[in-house]
Structure 1
Amino acid sequence: MSILLIGEHGQVSRELQRCLSGMSDLVVRGSAQLDLGNSAQIREQVQALRPQLIINAAAYTAVDLAESEQERAFAINAEAPGLLAELAAELHAPLIHYSTDYVFDGSLDRPYRETDAPNPLNVYGRSKLAGEQAIARVGGAHLILRTSWVYANHGRNFLLTLQRLLQTREQVSVVSDQIGAPTWAGSIAQATAELIQQWLTGQPGSWGIHHLTAQGETSWFGFAEAIGDTLREAGQPCARLLPISSAEYPTAAPRPLNSRLDCSQLQADWRIQLPHWREGLTACLSHSD
């Protein structure tokens, strides 16, 4: 089976390359070969390769910068996924696409279900929601996997930033009133490989939107505390952590206070459940890059 993986150096993409390397004929296209802002290039590449499965692991993810780069954010996160869905449908190939907790405003007092109405607070969230809607309009076999707070031991993310700050400063302030599930990119990739395997064996669950995050919940401050614990256990220097509110840490793009996603639908339909977020952190830190 031939798989086209869009995205080369991103957190999820790099982990997918590990997980899928022995499963299929995997073709990886990064931005140098396939620019999601260039619709003609997308069409040319997909039609030339004619994959049996398309995985879109690329996205515009600069949440704050998106506030001033709305056109580019929508081109990559909304228009490109819609075109990929059209091309996949023409090839009768499933499309797997990743989305985000930021499609919700965080006002509920419980984890969000797939049936809850989206209401993004920022441009990034609106662009990702528009991508979901564009894929859904095309129809065809597709999986939209919403995840949250993704990190890895490579790239740019909260884990690596906090490790650096905790080892170079005396005190680090971290927001404590935003709640979610830190999710290791490796767990996302492994779950994706399991989803593909179920499809290949003729036992797929339902297509459409599914939530895919680590089990459990914490705040960014709680996640930072767990990261600090690992540094201290390894005998590394570690700054003192100070909890602050979102109001005390203003950003260009507002964030939802509640980023929890209910993943019970994925477990019921596809029999897939990610490990607890603490287990994911341990696995990530013991995972060689």
Structure 2
Amino acid sequence: MARSRSDGSRGIAVLVPGGHGQLGRDLAAVGAALGESVDVVAPGSAELDVTEPGAVVEAVADLAAGAAQEGRWPVVVNAAAYSAVDAAEDDEDTAFAVNADGPRMLAAVCSSRSVPLVHVSTDYVFGGAADRPYEPGDPLGPRSAYGRTKAAGEDAVLGSGARAWVVRTAWLYGASGHNFVKTMIDLEARRDTLSVVDDQVGSPTWSGDLARGLLELAGRVAAGEGPARAVLHCTNAGQATWFDLARAVFEELGADPERVRPCTTEEFPRPAPRPAYSVLSSSAWAEAGLTPLRPWREAVSAFVSELRQEPTARR
């Protein structure tokens, strides 16, 4: 017999492909903190390879069956991604398999099981030539292999017929894995000064805050109350350059921010082109009645404080 939650609500059962990445781990942690109303299963790629049809079919079937038994609403939040932006330039086929073919398969199986899907995408689907924050409906124009494969994944999900929502985010950092903020923390201890790009503008976003937003959306769509808009943006509020973000990290560490020097993109070339401007507007997120994320500077402060309290932070 299906069981209801102690407060009378059904609660949600969430499957998170890509569960061992920085966002996946935060989705699991935030879900656990929310208590019995949310049950998150977050397998890594070794347990659930989204490019393997059989594995996807089995995972979504298990989710649907388990949710029915527990009296929960099932929902998939896809955090699986090939996110090595520079490596994708030389390995676009692999990136396409994970970022496009995988979401296509997830969406098809979710559709067949009547399970809603929340798919996480990126600011890299835009070209970066805008002079105001990108809205969800703005034309795409990816300039990198990573951006092209993520755009293809969006198309696959939105054209699948599944009840699906694409959530774009940007400049993600968290306690797990490698990211810009953790790199700055490491370099502060090892270098007297460092140069950081000051002509790329984006929306720094803590994966812990994003996880809370995604689970709020997941609860809504699983219960059939989700916003009608299929594409949303979710980032910490405001905008910054990489230089601004690096200086903020130094400030939170109690280090002199003047040790961070500005440089141009041309002075720090990378294999994959980066959007010069990729700030994402969260207006549609707020209009849908979802909780806006806090300003990026507040999030950095909270993240660094939390990380310093956990010296054995996940690698």
Both proteins in one fold, TM over 0.5: yes
Cα deviations by residue, 1:178-203 (Å, 9 ceiling, x for unpaired): 00111000110111122233345554
Aligned amino acid, residue 237 of structure 2: Q
Contact 1:153/1:285 (8 A) holds in 2: no
Three-state SS of the structure 2 residue aligned to 1:187 is helix
After superposition, the CA RMSD in angstroms is: 1.8
Q: Counterpart of 1:110 in 2: which secondary structure?
A: coil
Rounded Cα–Cα distance in structure 2 between residues aligned with 1:140 and 1:33: 24
Aligned counterpart for 2:146 among listed residues 95, 114, 124: 124
Aligned to 2:56: 42
Check conservation: 2:205, 2:236, Cα contact below 8 A. yes
Identity of aligned residues (%): 38
Q: Among 18, 22, 37, which residue is 2:29 paired with?
A: 18
Which residue number corresponds to residue 302 of structure 2?
Answer: 283
Counterpart of 2:228 (choices 189, 192, 206) is: 206
Partner residue, 1:148: 170
Aligned residues: 286
* 1:48 positional shift: 4.0
User: Which residue identity is paired with 2:92?
Assistant: Q
1:190–1:25 CA distance, 2 compared to 1 (3 A): closer
2: distance between equivalents of 1:82 and 1:19? 27
CA contact (8 A) 1:5 1:29 kept: yes
Deviations 1:227-282 (A, max 9, x none): 111122xxx68782111111111110000000101110110013321100011111
Note the C-alpha offset of 1:45.
2.9
After TM superposition, give the deviation of residue 25 of structure 1 in Å: 3.4
Note if contact 2:18-2:78 (Cα within 8 Å) is conserved in structure 1: yes
> Which residue of the partner structure matches residue 223 of structure 1?
245
Q: Is the CA contact (8 Å cut-off) linking 1:231 and 1:238 kept in structure 2?
A: no
User: Deviation at 1:9?
Assistant: 1.9
- What CA deviation, in whole Å up to 9, does each residue of 1:61-102 have, x standing for no partner? 000000011110000000000110011111111101110000
Q: Name segments (4+ residues, structure 1) moved above 6 Å.
A: none
- Report the secondary structure of 1:259's partner residue: coil
Relative to the length of structure 1, the TM-score reads 0.93
Cα shift readout 1:2-54 (whole Å, capped 9, x = no counterpart): 32111222111111101212233332211111112323322333234436211
Once residues 202 and 209 of structure 1 are traced to their aligned partners in structure 2, the CA distance between those partners, rounded to angstroms, is 16
The amino acid across from 2:272 in the alignment is A
**Residue in structure 1 matched with residue 3 of structure 2 by the alignment:** none
1:8 aligns with 2:19: yes
1:274 aligns with 2:285: no
Select the residue among 27, 37, 42 that pairs with 1:28: 42
In the alignment, the residues of structure 2 paired with residue 258 and residue 230 of structure 1 have an alpha-carbon distance, to the nearest angstrom, of: 25
